[in-house]
Amino acid sequence: MTHPAILTVDDDPAVSRAVARDLRRRYGERYRVVRAATGLEALDALREIKLRGEQVALLLADYRMPQMNGVQFLEAAMDLFPRARRVLLTAYADTDAAISAINVVDVDHYLLKPWNPPEEQLYPVVDALLDVWLASPDATSAEIRVVGHRWSAPSYKVRDFLARNLVPYRWHLADDPEGARLLSAAGLTGADVPLVVTAEGKSLVQPSEAELAASVGLTITPAADFYDVIVIGAGPAGLGAAVYGASEGLRTVLVERRATGGQAGQSSRIENYLGFPDGVSGSQLTERARRQALKFGAELLSAREVVALENTGSTRVVRFADDTRIAAHSVVLATGVSYRMLDVPGCADLTGRGVFYGSAATEAANCAGQEIYVVGGANSAGQAAVYFARYASHVHILIRAEDLRSSMSQYLVGQIEAIDNITVHPFTQVCASEGDEHLERLTLIDARTGNTRLVETSWLFIFIGAEPRTDWLDGVVARDSRGFVVTGPDLVVEGRRPAGWGLPRDPYHLECSVPGVFAAGDVRADSVKRVASAVGEGAMAISLVHRYLEAQ
């Protein structure tokens, strides 16, 4: 294994040499110290390290640099190595900027120049940060290798699962020399992909998400049978509930079917979230919230699908797909929504093979120099279009309306209008998709004229509305006609409380038709579909959980 890297970036040659010298003197036997003179040069170095499947433990960046300052570099670097510790090097006059950077890019520490003597000013800080990095779940493990076919839907699902859970891996095509060697070593052929080779050298053939989660160190088995609150769904609402529940002393378990962050976790850039004036990627926001919940003692179960909610007196029981159960005094439903499927010929068969739901950031680099199509006119579609425009030769946004202004935030509309390689096609829908091994062409229809046209493309990203996917709650809690969970005052109709309520009070604001069960975020009927409101509802749900528990 190559030693993990410590990367320093400073445009002052004297300072750059000094920091590299001091770091090599103390850490050179265990870490590889990499120097860069600019933020762009440093990002190129990080991309090479990422492609080689190596790790970065620590980033030290000077604040004052031309073209890209230290804060901007660290923000970009977080997308490549989110668990690397971050240090900003500043002069005394820049301390205010350094402090604000703690909120912008989650800087772990800032160091004033000069830092002499390093034994007092530099090494204690670096020692502490490297200890934190080494304690993170995947920091000391060898790389995970995935072997698959370029246009294999199961291979894409494995890569997407790992990427969304921020698990680093190295991707090999089955017909490349290294991929072929790994298949041969495992006694397999190209028909057996995807193959996942774990850090310990164990081979997993076409693994389920639960098997994959267990193999990469994610927790899939609950530590207890009973909790104060079970939070189902680890999107913004669920993470908010987990942070506030655990921080206030409740025994809290957060259960997620796929990956923390939900739809928000897939967003390339969220620019209207309070406290982040320069924007924040969904993965960055998700990772901070996940770490925060774990810091306060919340338990996080990954790749566990909840299939039933049962009421046993004052106890609420959650049943998983494998028929195991956990119980609690209360439950917070924060399962969010899923993108609605595009019901046109060909799409179902090509899903994961050129047709993708959500931003599918793992595919961005593969789109380089090609034309892609985005279906949808809301913020998630706009964020994806702006992100993919960095890679694709051209991005086409297909919408049914006349323009984007009725469904998308103004800041995104302005960005899209300013990007030359994005074109918005109003009154346009996909009516068919075709391809053999992968998507090759789309048939588009103009809703005004009925005229159709054929376009050649291998990339279609779909963001069309949302469905709550709450069928598993049928007969347990009240839902509206679209499946969203009804809560609070909406449950009281003409002065009558919901059937079977049994308490001498009306349901609390976020409480469902079952006492002690609350809904937060997008899954709740008539909720505001924004990250900030989802986080707020998650926090509010915990305050109502406290009120419910105190009354028992």
Structure confidence by residue, pLDDT tens digits, 257-276: 988 988 888 887 888 888 88
Total number of domains constituting the chain: 4
Tell me the CATH number at 428: 3.50.50.60
Looking at the fold, whether 303 and 423 belong to one and the same domain comes out as no
Sort strands 252-255 and 226-232 into parallel, antiparallel or unpaired: parallel
What is the number of H-type helices and E-type strands within the chain? 16, 26
If asked whether residues 257 and 353 sit together in one domain, one would say: no
CATH of the domain at 187: 3.40.30.10
Domain containing residue 451 = 347-465
Domain end among 177, 211, 245 = 211
Q: What is the DSSP string of 176-213?
A: SHHHHHHHHHTT--GGG--EEE-TTS-EEES--HHHHH
- Residue 11 and residue 114 in one domain: yes
330 and 472 within one domain: yes
- Angle subtended at Cα 520 by Cα 499 and Cα 281, rounded to the nearest 5 degrees: 160
* 104-113 contacts, C-beta under 8 A, 24 or more apart: 104/71, 104/75, 104/276, 104/277, 104/278, 105/71, 105/74, 105/75, 105/78, 106/78, 106/284, 106/288, 107/71, 107/74, 108/132, 109/85, 111/60, 111/87, 113/15, 113/89
Is 453 in contact with 443 (CB distance < 8 Å)? Answer: yes
Q: What is the pLDDT of residue 466?
A: 81
Is residue 513 predicted with pLDDT exceeding 50? yes
Q: What's the rounded Cα separation, in Å, for the pair 115 and 109? A: 13
d(CA 468, CA 525): 10
Task: Specify whether 117 is located in the same domain as 264.
Answer: no
**Token output for 487:** 């809560």
pTM (two decimals): 0.78
Q: What is the mean pLDDT of the chain?
A: 91
Residues 104 and 14 in one domain: yes
Establish if 197 belongs to a structural domain: yes
Q: Among 284, 148, 79, which Cα is nearest to 158's?
A: 148
- Note whether 258 and 373 are same-domain residues: no
CATH number for position 129: 3.40.50.2300
Q: Is there a domain that residue 363 lies in? A: yes
> pLDDT > 70: what percent of the chain?
96
- Residue 388 resides in a domain: yes
Q: 158 and 85 share a domain?
A: no
Among 99, 118, 135, the domain-final residue is 135
Given a contact cutoff of 8 angstroms between Cβ atoms, the answer to whether 406 and 392 are in contact is no
Strand pairing report for 325-333 and 226-232: parallel
Q: Which of 301, 299, 297 is nearest to 246 (CA)?
A: 297
**pLDDT at position 101:** 63
Residues 168 and 110 placed together within one structural domain of the fold: no
Within a domain: 220: no
Overall average pLDDT of the 174-193 stretch: 90
Q: Scanning the structure block, which residue is given the tokens 């390290």? A: 49
pLDDT band at residue 282 under the 50/70/90 scheme: confident
Any domain includes 540: yes
- Choosing from 447, 465, 483, the residue where a domain stops is 465
Sheet strand arrangement including 452-456: 428-434, 441-446, 452-456
CB 112 within 8 A of CB 90: yes
Same domain, 131 and 12: yes
Q: What share of the chain is helix, strand, coil (3-state, %, to 5)?
A: 35, 25, 40
If asked whether residues 392 and 369 sit together in one domain, one would say: yes
Amino acid at 31: Y
Is residue 221, in this structure, part of any structural domain at all?
A: no
Residue 217 within any structural domain of the chain = no
Helix segments in 306-451, DSSP class H: 347-350, 379-388, 410-418
pLDDT at 138 over 60: no
Cα–Cα nearest to 250, from 230, 270, 221: 230
- The per-residue pLDDT for range 382-401, each reduced to its tens digit, is 999 999 999 999 999 999 99
Angular region, 313: left φ>0, alpha ψ -120 to 50, beta rest: left
Regarding whether 475 and 331 lie in a shared domain, the answer is yes
Say which residue, 330 or 184, is predicted with more confidence. 330
Asked if the structure places residue 231 within a domain, the reply is: yes
pLDDT digits (tens, 9 = 90+) for 151-168: 999 999 999 999 888 888
362 Cβ partners below 8 Å, 6+ apart?
156, 159, 160, 163
